[in-house]
Amino acid sequence: MNTAARLSLFGAGVVVAFGAAFGLAGAIVPAELVAGWQEKSEMNEHDTHDEPSATAAPKNDDHGGHTGHTAAHTTPQGLSLSENGYVLSPVQAPTAVGADGELSFQILDDSGEPVVDYTTEHDKDLHLIVVRSDGTGFRHVHPQLDAGTGVWSLPWRWQDAGTYRVFADFAPQGADGITLTRTVHVGGEWAPVASSASKTDEVDGFTVTLDGELTAGAPSELTLSIARDGQPVTDLEPYLGAFGHLVALREGDLAYLHVHPEGPSPESAAHDDSGDHEHSAVTAHGGPDIGFVAEAPTPGRYLLYLDFQVDGTVHTATFVVDAASAQHGAHDDSH
């Protein structure tokens, strides 16, 4: 499905990234299980004839859209620094905690030239996700492109030491969407933070609650409800073309999947409120509930992050959810 079709479906997509928390205390995944996931992913890549290979030149779909993420259920992305002939260059960033500097990188094509033409998705040409290997320090940001050099950059400071994963999510003009990843090491002593299951988070005076269960291999309905001072929040503002963005990191591997939210888009909400499409960006409001449909690829633990905007400020709520297997869920229902 191309970008225009997806935007017309709900106003904007929401990124859901399934990543690893290597070294997470008390949550080490057996090496043979990780190898099995990787082997399955590689088999899916070979079996999906409509998808280009990792070394093939980029290919347009019939509608000129961004189709790479729509195949994510069988071929998870975010597992490699290269795909479809595109490469994420080494990431330049400060190497010590507290040092002011710049984070920068390039996207290179199969001839080694920097990519400078992109398709806008979710109001941006590129989305950058940065998170430490234990799931802490999550950031969803948007660097600026120097069209002359193809360098993406933004001011940067590390708050904590550790090993970080950097995900670049983008769609080269005329090609499928891609998510590439690199590892960045920040010097200093650090200890991984162990996760514990939680469906409620307090952030910046907001209480955010997650309702729903993840079932591996099956679509799962999730509802995020936002309150402040005990009152439902109904003035959520559009952020990157949606009322909320959900990101999930899976312990044990790195994969990056797209799903769509349920419910009205900011555009339709604005039309319902005012009947005036011209001022939709000003009048659109949502909440207190934001619905999503997500599909966890395997059983296991997932760290979920919700970005939402109120009064011009973006807030991020964090949750930890365990996904059960579909077979286990069916067995429980039968009893």
Two tokens, residue 186: 């920040």
The residue ranking higher by pLDDT, 316 or 29, is: 316
pLDDT computed for residue 41 by the predictor: 41
**Nearest 5°: CA angle at 66, between 64 and 68?**
130
Q: Where in the chain is the domain with CATH 2.60.40.10?
A: 3-186, 200-246+257-334
pLDDT range class, residue 43, cuts 50, 70, 90: very low
pLDDT computed for residue 39 by the predictor: 45
Q: Which helix (H) or strand (E) holds 330?
A: helix 326-334
Distance CA 262, CA 189 (A): 42
Q: Does domain 200-246+257-334 have CATH number 2.60.40.10?
A: yes
Global confidence as pTM: 0.73
pLDDT range class, residue 55, cuts 50, 70, 90: very low
Mean pLDDT on 98-125: 96
The residue ranking higher by pLDDT, 36 or 129, is: 129
Q: Tell how far CA 51 is from the center of its chain.
A: 21
CATH superfamily of 3-186: Immunoglobulins (2.60.40.10)
pLDDT range class, residue 64, cuts 50, 70, 90: very low
pLDDT computed for residue 262 by the predictor: 74
3-state helix, strand, coil in the chain (%, to 5): 15, 40, 40
Sign of dihedral through CA atoms 320, 325, 331, 334? positive
* Range with lowest mean pLDDT among 33-47, 99-113, 283-297: 33-47
Distance CA 214, CA 267 (A): 29
Residues 6+ apart with CB under 8 A from 209: 199, 200, 224, 225, 227
Mean pLDDT on 244-262: 72
Edge-first strand listing for the sheet containing 215-216: 215-216, 313-325, 300-310, 245-250
pLDDT range class, residue 78, cuts 50, 70, 90: confident
Of the candidates 150, 197, 164, which has an alpha carbon nearest to the alpha carbon of residue 323?
A: 197
pLDDT computed for residue 153 by the predictor: 98
Phi and psi, residue 161, nearest 5°: -75, 165
Mean pLDDT on 70-90: 76
